[in-house]
Amino acid sequence: MSNNKLLLIGDHFISAELMRSKIDHLSSGYTIHEASTPFPLEPFRNIAEVREASGSEEQMIDALQGASICIAHHAPLTQHVLSHTPDLRLFIVCRGGPVNVNLNAATASGVIVGYTPGRNATATAEYSIAMLLAAIRSIPQTDAALRKGQWKGDYTWETAGFELESSTVGLVGYGAVGRLVAQALRAFGAKVLVYDPFVTSTDTEQVEQVSLLELLSRSDVVSLHARDTQGTRGMIGEKEIALMKKGSVLVNCARGSLLDYNALADALRSNHLFAAAADVFPEEPLSPVSELLSFPNFVATPHVAGGTRQAAEKAAGIAAEELERYLSGKPLRFCANPR
């Protein structure tokens, strides 16, 4: 007989209380239990075979005992956890992708995995624009100088930034985030180039769709918005950066795996790039002795682009909608393992 325990695993960003507020009207017949992981007060990390997770396998096994449904954020669902939680049937991750879930093991165990795409698209798009402007106009550097009592108002032709209105910006990836970034850039008056092999020409009426090589060679700014897949990992390396204009800017608020950061450091050291900005890195947290942090024209933030209150609300809301579909016998809209 099916178990009626419904587990909510929140954290300090998307709390179990927020999740409960979205699903209370759906919980008839279920006993709701709550748990929490330390994210983001403690950064997420790799746990066993899954990535970007928080908490522990032992905590998961204990909390999931008897639960048939679980809604979580960064909690790890590993093969080890699945082998000790036979009652579990539905696991919804309040994230754009379930990287903290072993999908193969979940499928083999008969566990449906849902997720919440687009929940932080607006937050990440707005942050990408902010990082782009911060890099072009040296905003963090001049702010830091003022706090040290230095008046850095001595910009020259060589050190001055440039305007988006007369610039060409290339977007690598044109999904939910890329489209919102393009919309904002067009409002600034920028010309927008797009590289995304999964997008048809009818999707890009107000942008120009080009090859990656053409995008890199024509853009004054290149901003990354692709997903982390086998085909995109390391897609921007030494050769690709060399194709970019001298004095151009590179921004990555997508995934650290997309970019070769050693090649980025070389390009900053040689002044091939005017500036760069990144919110994501291959290994997080970024080491405080990373060479990248020695470059005054490099803007770095600790993977916070998607962190808004609205993003948390949207994630919990989408998760509730998916739960309602499951309980009414309908297939999930966002299922990571539909087979």
Q: Give the DSSP H/E element, type plus range, for residue 147.
A: helix 139-147
255 assigned to active site? yes
272 assigned to active site? no
Going across the sheet that includes 248-252, the strands are: 208-209, 191-195, 168-172, 221-224, 248-252, 273-278, 298-300
Q: What is the largest CA-CA distance in the chain?
A: 74
Tokens standing for 98? 């379930």
Statement: residue 144 has pLDDT above 80: yes
Statement: residue 137 has pLDDT above 80: yes
Statement: residue 132 has pLDDT above 60: yes
Q: Which stretches does DSSP call E strand in the chain?
A: 5-10, 31-36, 45-47, 50-53, 67-72, 90-93, 112-114, 168-172, 191-195, 208-209, 221-224, 248-252, 273-278, 298-300
Statement: residue 320 has pLDDT above 60: yes
Of the residues 119, 179, 303, 321, only one is catalytic, namely 303
Tokens standing for 263? 């090649």
With beta carbons less than 8 A apart as the criterion, state whether 250 and 171 touch.
no
Is the bond into 98 cis (omega within 30 degrees of 0)? no
In angstroms, the first-to-last Cα distance of the chain is 24
With beta carbons less than 8 A apart as the criterion, state whether 249 and 255 touch.
no
25 assigned to active site? no
Render pLDDT for 45-94 as a digit per residue (tens, 0 to 9). Answer: 999 999 999 999 999 999 999 999 999 999 999 999 999 999 999 999 99
Statement: residue 1 has pLDDT above 50: no
Has this prediction a pTM greater than 0.85? yes
Backbone angles phi, psi at 192, to 5 degrees: -115, 125
Residue-range domains of the chain with CATH: 5-119+308-327 (3.40.50.720), 121-300 (3.40.50.720)
Distance of alpha carbon 299 from alpha carbon 315, whole angstroms: 28
Of the residues 74, 95, 179, 255, only one is catalytic, namely 255
| Gyration radius of the chain's alpha carbons | 22
Render pLDDT for 97-117 as a digit per residue (tens, 0 to 9). Answer: 999 999 999 999 999 999 999
Distance of alpha carbon 36 from alpha carbon 301, whole angstroms: 25
Render pLDDT for 232-265 as a digit per residue (tens, 0 to 9). Answer: 999 999 999 999 999 999 999 999 999 999 999 9
By the 10 Å C-beta count (0-12 exposed, 13-18 middle, 19+ buried), 159 is classed as exposed
Of the residues 284, 291, 313, 324, only one is catalytic, namely 284
